[in-house]
Amino acid sequence: MPSIFQIILKSIKFYKKQIFYQVFIIVLLCAVITGSLLTGKSVKESLKKSASDHLGNTDILISSGIRYFDPELVKRLKDSTDLKCTGVLEINGFSQSMNSQKKAFNTHIFGVSSDFFAFQGFDTFSVKPGEVAINKKLADYLGIKPGEDLIIRFPRISAIPADAPFAPTIDGGNSIVLKVGIILEPSHIGNFSLSISQITPMNIFMNLSDIDDSHGGSNKINRLLINNKNANSLKSASESLKHYLEISDIGLKLRNIEKTGEIELTSDRIFIDGSILKEITSLIPESAPVLTYLGNRFVDGRKYNPYSFVSALPSSLYPGICTGNGMIINSWMANDLSAKVGDTIKMFWYSPDSLNKLIEKNSPFIIRSIVEMKGIWSDSLLMPDFPGISGKESCSDWDAGVPIKMSEIRAKDEDYWNRYRGTPKAFISYEKGNELLGNNFGPATSLRYPAGLSRTEIENRLNGSLNPEKMGFIMSDLSDESIKAANESVDFGSLFLSLGFFLILASFVLLSFATSSYFDLKRKSVKTLFSLGFKNSRIAKLLLLEAGVISLAGCSIGAFLGYLADILITRALNTVWTGAVQTNTLYSYFDLKSIIFGFVLTFLTILVFMFLKVRIYLKELNPKKKKGYVSHSTRLNLFLLITSAVVTISLFVLSMVFSDQQILFSFSSGTLLLLTLVLLWRQYFIRRITRGSDRMHNRNELSRLYYSFNPSNAVTPILFIAAGIFTVVITGANRMNNNDKQLRRSGGTGGYLLWCENTIPVKQDLNTESGRKTMGLDDNQLSELHFVQIKKTSGNDASCLNLNHITAPPLLGIDPEDFIAKKSFSFSKMLSSKEIKNPWQYLNLEPQNNIIYGIADQTVLEWGLKLKTGDTLVLKAENGRPLHIIIAGGLQTSVFQGNVLIGKENFTKYYPSVSGSQVLLVDGNRALIDLYQNVLNDRLENYSVNIEKTADRLASFHEVTNTYLSVFGVFGALGMIIGVAGLGFVLLRNYNQRKQEFAIMLAAGFRMKGIRRMILSEQVLILIAGVTSGLVSALLATSSSIKNSPDIPWFVIGLMVAAILITGLIALSLSVRSITKNSLITILKTE
């Protein structure tokens, strides 16, 4: 007796042709699913590899952010610990080939010391002074070769924040010409990067000695790289840093004050940051802050004394200092002003406002005492070491960083300078001084220690004890973070499963057709089993076991073919679909886990599918079920058809009338047209033919009569094809593009014309007359020009161009008033609040416990940052403190993509060292856009500006979405082609179901050719009906896009439709060919 398994194997052997179809479809299905999963894995692994290639031997990064530190710290760590480390100066700049004149914006410049390449494992490489090493990408981009000259421009390196009061004026940046020494291949750390991004950077490696400190100091660095990969590496690195960190490393120095016998601690940033001051005070409670400031005028009645220093002194060291608005002046000033005790003196000074713009303030003081210029009151060292003032021979040489009216400086003022230098003439309490003169850059210009405390003791108490984080250092396990960012990156596995949805659906449809055809063939065998007393469950088990064997075979092959699919997809992503990944460095990764998962997932899905299919099949076979032909109601169909047609026309009219809702209305009318056309076809098929006689006049009527009883056999394939074509065409036509809507105020450009990013900060206010004049933008033609000047911190690009999960995006400091006034940009989501209706207003809210509000593009929030409105993004402020940014709104795709927007005042508060503006958003007369671009390119050339039209910038973001749409389109078309190939099965099924009719027709003298032609023409009609219905509806649905977009890929869409039609015709022709006369004669036999 044969076993069940033997019966199954025999059945498979007997029906091998039909089984082959099923196996083939399952192979395809499993290959698509496994391929998608493997692609997801490949992208993740490629990102990890890319991160590893970019980092080289860097495991831990200690960064001082936008501040600098002394390379001595690296030397000390190297000499004293077993840490393998090196220091670099990382800056963004601009480069240009002297020969080709080609420019590269956003060049990553690394100032490296002699040990950098050794640290990365390349002992033989080095960058000599006067030379640079560049990576291959930059070399290719600029078309530059070794030995040729490269112009490099980058911001000036200065410890003093450019916007700080009394910082010397620095216009423009550094510009130097160096020779290209070597071109570094990616394998030779050429693509070194500390950013988390898969995009290959354009790198320049310079000798650190070629990057001058603006004030002649020693070369500073801002990144410390550590190669130490073990479980505790970050903790131990942090401990080592703390242990070996000295005050000199962060620009703090001690000096003896001879006049008082005290020791003073000053900073090369002029102002000592609040958090540093707090940390030092916690270590040495005797620390007493002093704040010395330049007053513009001291006015007593009609007399005034110009440009004199005032010191705010601590009462702990200066017990005689008065409180409140009391002021002590020295005898020189008293004589100059003829002032006496009790007089009121008005002090004027420049103070940075919340945006670090210097504004003149004043405050009245009452003279409490007049002191002789001796002892503690003649201390010239109270004046900080202002680089533009200290050491100058005369006042007229001052570069004070604030406007100085030289005409007001008298001979006696010069004489005072010559004799007493910056000795303050006025003294107020530290508390009052801090209240009036303290600013974003710090509350003190020095810390003083009482005479009893020795320099050595201070050093001993501070060195090795300062908390690096409070000193502005940010420590990160970059290696781990990169891997984490890659692991949490855009999930291409799910993405490709969604993009391949149509392909998967089509495979299931095809499998359904193939299985139904197969079951039709087995009908007799199954009926025999019934008649032999087999129960339904037993037959179902048999059929399911058979399906299991078939699926097993298909999935086994398909799972491994999935790897082939992965190779193809990865190759496509590196080439034709590179817009989605912005890199060509992806590689296909063989991951057994994904293969097994793909196999199991497909296998189980098919088993469930087969279980349902078998149940339906056995239900239909149930002899108790009455078979009969049911005629369908044409009235109901006609009613639905007319209703649908009326609504379609109404929506179309609405789309013509309401241009602002055109997309919605035209899409809805197109979708309904699809339904209308399908109903129209149904009406055509179910309507009985009315004629004057009993007989049919042609063979087509015969087909029509068949479908009038079986409309679903025609309407279902029409619906499937039409819906598929509809999807493919609208996907192609609805590519994101910069239509008029995007250029409007409410669109992604905000109505602005140009987006400028400059490497060297622009300090002038370009909306003022003086700012325009300075920059040469005061032509009449440019009168309509308006700028939104934006500050920017560096960070990891969080736009859709970066696949990684980003936790530290760049911040843009924005004054939203212009956007509010012009109603620029639109929000997808926003925080709900009764008080605040416009999300932009959140940006103006003052910080509460280091909590501020931010805004980002919704796509950035969802994909790059994985946050939603109301969530908090925690970043490090310039001084190392955590800054909590609550997301107040998600913008519709805009030019800001990749960044997080915060209020400009808050930006200035938390990142005071970022001076000027790095981004300009330009508004004006759209007709003059090209003129604006040319003029700005010319006038801002020294700022290494990269200017792009906002529409173009938006288009670059749309490229990613458009590539996804292309992938979806291709997969959709492929799915359609496969689905349409299934029409062959539909044809064979219809044929099998109607075999008797065709047999009797043959007996009645019909020719076989005629019968075949009849079957074929029915299916061709279905194919054409589906394609035209889908096409016409899709064209209506996308009519608004078609009108507004010149770049709809008509050729590709046409090609896809043609491919679908041709595949359908081929499948039908092949299937009809397989219909033989013998198969019909068999039906007639009764023996």
List of residues contacting another protein (CB under 8 A): 628-629, 693-696, 698-699, 702, 705-706, 708-710, 996-997, 999-1010, 1077, 1081, 1083-1087
Which C-beta is closer to another protein: that of 524 or that of 834? 524
Q: Tokens 């033919």 map to which residue? A: 689
Question: CB of residue 577 vs another protein: minimum separation in angstroms?
Answer: 50
Euclidean distance between CA atoms 436 and 425, whole angstroms: 17
Which C-beta is closer to another protein: that of 417 or that of 706? 706
DSSP 43-65: HHHHHHHHHHHHHTT--EEEE-T
Question: CB of residue 706 vs another protein: minimum separation in angstroms?
Answer: 5
Which C-beta is closer to another protein: that of 219 or that of 710? 710
Which C-beta is closer to another protein: that of 425 or that of 994? 994
Question: CB of residue 631 vs another protein: minimum separation in angstroms?
Answer: 9
Question: CB of residue 15 vs another protein: minimum separation in angstroms?
Answer: 17
Question: CB of residue 1080 vs another protein: minimum separation in angstroms?
Answer: 8
Q: Which residues pair with 149 in a beta bridge?
A: 179
Euclidean distance between CA atoms 862 and 871, whole angstroms: 11
Centroid of chain to Cα 866? 11
Which C-beta is closer to another protein: that of 601 or that of 705? 705
Euclidean distance between CA atoms 840 and 745, whole angstroms: 15
Question: CB of residue 632 vs another protein: minimum separation in angstroms?
Answer: 12
Which C-beta is closer to another protein: that of 176 or that of 705? 705
Amino acid making up residue 422: G
Question: Do residues 914 and 92 make contact, with C-beta atoms less than 8 angstroms apart?
Answer: no
To 10 degrees, the CA torsion angle through 848, 849, 850, 855?
A: -40
Centroid of chain to Cα 174? 30
Question: CB of residue 683 vs another protein: minimum separation in angstroms?
Answer: 17
Question: CB of residue 590 vs another protein: minimum separation in angstroms?
Answer: 49
Which C-beta is closer to another protein: that of 390 or that of 996? 996
Question: CB of residue 504 vs another protein: minimum separation in angstroms?
Answer: 35
Q: Compute CA distances 19 → 394, 514, 550, 554, 1061, whole Å.
A: 99, 9, 7, 10, 26
Q: Compute CA distances 340 → 377, 759, 793, 986, whole Å.
A: 17, 53, 50, 109
Which C-beta is closer to another protein: that of 330 or that of 713? 713
To 10 degrees, the CA torsion angle through 681, 682, 686, 690?
A: -30
Helical H segments across 132-197, by residue range: 136-142
Cα four-point dihedral sign 342, 346, 350, 353? positive
Based on its alpha-carbon atoms, the radius of gyration of the chain, rounded to whole angstroms, reads: 39
Question: CB of residue 630 vs another protein: minimum separation in angstroms?
Answer: 10
Which C-beta is closer to another protein: that of 16 or that of 357? 16
Residue 202 token pair: 């354009």
Question: CB of residue 617 vs another protein: minimum separation in angstroms?
Answer: 21
DSSP 401-467: SS---GGG--HHHHHHHHHHTT--SEEEEHHHHHHHH-BTTBSBSEEEE-TTS-HHHHHHHHTTTS-
Backbone angles phi, psi at 884, to 5 degrees: -95, 120
Please calculate the CA angle 526-528-531 and round it to the nearest 5 degrees. Answer: 115
163: alpha, beta or left? (left if phi > 0; alpha if psi -120 to 50): alpha
Which C-beta is closer to another protein: that of 179 or that of 995? 995
Euclidean distance between CA atoms 520 and 518, whole angstroms: 5
Which C-beta is closer to another protein: that of 928 or that of 1083? 1083
Which C-beta is closer to another protein: that of 681 or that of 998? 998
Question: CB of residue 701 vs another protein: minimum separation in angstroms?
Answer: 8
Q: What is the 3-state secondary structure (H, E, C) of 587-625?
A: CCCCCHHHHHHHHHHHHHHHHHHHHHHHHHHHHHHCCCC
Residues 6+ apart with CB under 8 A from 1012: 1072, 1073, 1075
Which C-beta is closer to another protein: that of 406 or that of 1000? 1000
Question: CB of residue 636 vs another protein: minimum separation in angstroms?
Answer: 20
Question: CB of residue 1004 vs another protein: minimum separation in angstroms?
Answer: 4
Between β-strands 358-371 and 344-352, what pairing exists: parallel, antiparallel or unpaired? antiparallel
Which C-beta is closer to another protein: that of 851 or that of 1083? 1083
Question: CB of residue 999 vs another protein: minimum separation in angstroms?
Answer: 7
Which C-beta is closer to another protein: that of 834 or that of 1009? 1009
Task: Choose among 346, 312, 348: nearest CA to 443.
Answer: 312
Which C-beta is closer to another protein: that of 527 or that of 1007? 1007
Amino acid making up residue 904: K
Question: CB of residue 548 vs another protein: minimum separation in angstroms?
Answer: 31
Question: CB of residue 530 vs another protein: minimum separation in angstroms?
Answer: 20
Euclidean distance between CA atoms 26 and 16, whole angstroms: 15
DSSP letter (8 states) at residue 213:
B
Question: CB of residue 1013 vs another protein: minimum separation in angstroms?
Answer: 13
Q: How far apart, in Å, do the first and last CA atoms of the chain sit?
A: 28
Q: Compute CA distances 587 → 42, 566, 570, 571, 703, whole Å.
A: 6, 9, 6, 8, 53
Residue 596 token pair: 């097994």
Question: Do residues 182 and 146 make contact, with C-beta atoms less than 8 angstroms apart?
Answer: yes
Which C-beta is closer to another protein: that of 629 or that of 1051? 629
Exposure string (b/e) for 1029-1056, b if CB count within 10 Å is 16 or more? bbbbbbbbbbbbbbebbeebbeeebeeb
Which C-beta is closer to another protein: that of 290 or that of 1075? 1075
